[in-house]
Structure 1
């Protein structure tokens, strides 16, 4: 049985593997791609190392076998032994690729932050149930909010008096991760709703960088030297730009959303977020602005122009057509706000 797998290393090169499965073992293994490898004959060493291995091996086991087979003086540029392991796992598990899908791109008018959070759950569920295809959505919101992670404590994270003074609603999202203070148009938030097949064979950590590689490319076209810092940060030499969070539903669908600072007021953020007072101080840095570096200062562009470039790069890399949230999805999200997101039981499920 012939197997083919591909993995684009975030910030690196394409790794391609082809092999046969014979009597429960990998045979006739061939690695290829647009990476760099010196010396040339190390490619054959990698092929021989994988030949005969079980297809059920872990990424780490494949990487260890490859590393052990490589000569002492070898240079791998644009890929790693682990990335070969990921490509093998994706071949074995039948992982999908971005272009296997017809992507929809949604950019609706501003709604409340709570409705945005509910929409993330509704649209992820719709993808998992096959009611909509994979989708990229740009958030727009009409009032300030403190968005907290699914497992965070309200009293530990939020100064509720400061939040109330600024008219900020507390919204608990369904994904984990940290809290953020979001004023309208101060940040760029997007969400991906994808089938689990797109990240099959990857670790949780690898999937974060994989799903955000397109946005790193978009930022680089704007002159920002953006890189991914595990587990879930997008950063640059001038400071942190944003962070990602994920939630995987029982259906296998994945919600992956990211908030990047455009023109955040670090001083206000440090007042509203309790933990933020320590995080934003950045080990003694006096100005919170130095911790979260806004996209506006690095590009000089409007928020709209940056979003436009992001969508342009996404379409060029992965395809996609402009769509809209259906009436049924809006209705479901509004019900979810009333039944879940707006309730004290949900907001304060971790007091």
Structure 2
């Protein structure tokens, strides 16, 4: 018999709200107030999210991001910078002690990524779980989609979805980006390179490293189409049922407080 998790469709929200909501859901689950959660959301305005330990000085062009109207937010998870624009973002919150969850971080990625894998299959896309043939995080890039980590999703050898994870208070939070489209030129304008030649070389190589859903399907998809495909994908991939949940006033107040005290605080965002 399958287990029932909560499903939250947050719709489109600010970057600070999105990160604060993920953290508050982790807190509530750690306190036993809610069962495991699958959450879908979008971003308005579009934003560049930084990994928890990612350096900004000499790597991220903060002025360029602000000039283009992008906000910058620091995630509670690790990894590299992601431009969140034309995409579906997901988060999973589940206890480390859950029977489905391996103790190994890498193996937990494998289990949770089954939901994303099945989502791509629902769209008629043959995707695979990445098994890197070289050390992850050693390329020197600041761009998430330039390299695949263990059990992230690949299509024909190109990275199709980026995920990041943290473990706090006995709870796993994994969230990630499932792009419908990618604007390579805009993406690379947000990073600092030694010179234009290096930047152009990196941009040209990006098409060989990453791919979006619309590129693979050769047509425009919609946020609603992706939500349906990946919601069913997580149900099948994790063998769970989903019960729709609306955050109550108490939860939303905690989210608002955390937004202001942490995620909207530039000292936190640009601490590195």
TM-score of the two chains, using structure 2 as the length reference? 0.83
C-alpha offsets along residues 128-180 of structure 1, whole Å, 9 cap, x if unaligned?
11111111000122101110000011224311121011111110011101101
- Partner Cα distance (1:282, 1:176) in 2: 27
Match among 106, 115, 118 for residue 214 of structure 1: 115
User: In the alignment, which residue of structure 2 is the partner of 1:131?
Assistant: 33
How many Å apart are 1:221 and its aligned residue?
Answer: 2.7
User: In the alignment, which residue of structure 2 is the partner of 1:104?
Assistant: 6
User: In the alignment, which residue of structure 2 is the partner of 1:247?
Assistant: 166
Matched, 1:256 2:174: yes
Give yes or no for contact 2:101–2:111 (8 Å, CA) kept in 1: no
Q: Structure 1 pair 307/282, CA: closer, same or farther in 2 (3 Å)?
A: farther
Pairs aligned (count): 247
User: In the alignment, which residue of structure 1 is the partner of 2:45?
Assistant: 143
1:298-309 alignment runs, 5 A limit: 298-299=216-217, 300=219, 301-309=221-229
How many Å apart are 1:272 and its aligned residue?
Answer: 0.8
User: In the alignment, which residue of structure 2 is the partner of 1:5?
Assistant: none
Q: Structure 1 pair 289/304, CA: closer, same or farther in 2 (3 Å)?
A: farther
How many Å apart are 1:346 and its aligned residue?
Answer: 0.9
**Tell me, what secondary structure is at the counterpart of 2:17?**
helix
Q: Structure 1 pair 245/256, CA: closer, same or farther in 2 (3 Å)?
A: same
1:226-305 alignment runs, 5 A limit: 226-230=127-131, 231=150, 233-237=152-156, 239-250=158-169, 252-274=170-192, 286=204, 288-299=206-217, 300=219, 301-305=221-225
Q: Larger radius of gyration, structure 1 or 2?
A: 1
Match among 326, 338, 342 for residue 248 of structure 2: 326
- Partner Cα distance (1:167, 1:111) in 2: 15
User: In the alignment, which residue of structure 2 is the partner of 1:83?
Assistant: none
- Partner Cα distance (1:283, 1:228) in 2: 27
Structure 1: gaps of 5 or more residues: 1-97
Q: Give the CA RMSD over aligned residues.
A: 2.4
How many Å apart are 1:297 and its aligned residue?
Answer: 1.9
User: In the alignment, which residue of structure 2 is the partner of 1:173?
Assistant: 75
C-alpha offsets along residues 219-248 of structure 1, whole Å, 9 cap, x if unaligned?
123222211114252111062111111111
Structure 2: gaps of 5 or more residues: 132-149
Give yes or no for contact 2:16–2:73 (8 Å, CA) kept in 1: yes
Give yes or no for contact 2:48–2:84 (8 Å, CA) kept in 1: yes
More RCO (CA 8 Å, sep 6+):
2
TM-score of the two chains, using structure 1 as the length reference? 0.65
C-alpha offsets along residues 94-129 of structure 1, whole Å, 9 cap, x if unaligned?
xxxx93x42111102321011100111000111111
C-alpha offsets along residues 286-338 of structure 1, whole Å, 9 cap, x if unaligned?
26444321111223332321221111233343111111222211111110011
**Tell me, what secondary structure is at the counterpart of 1:320?**
strand
C-alpha offsets along residues 169-207 of structure 1, whole Å, 9 cap, x if unaligned?
110011101101122xx1121000101123554311111
1:83-98 alignment runs, 5 A limit: none
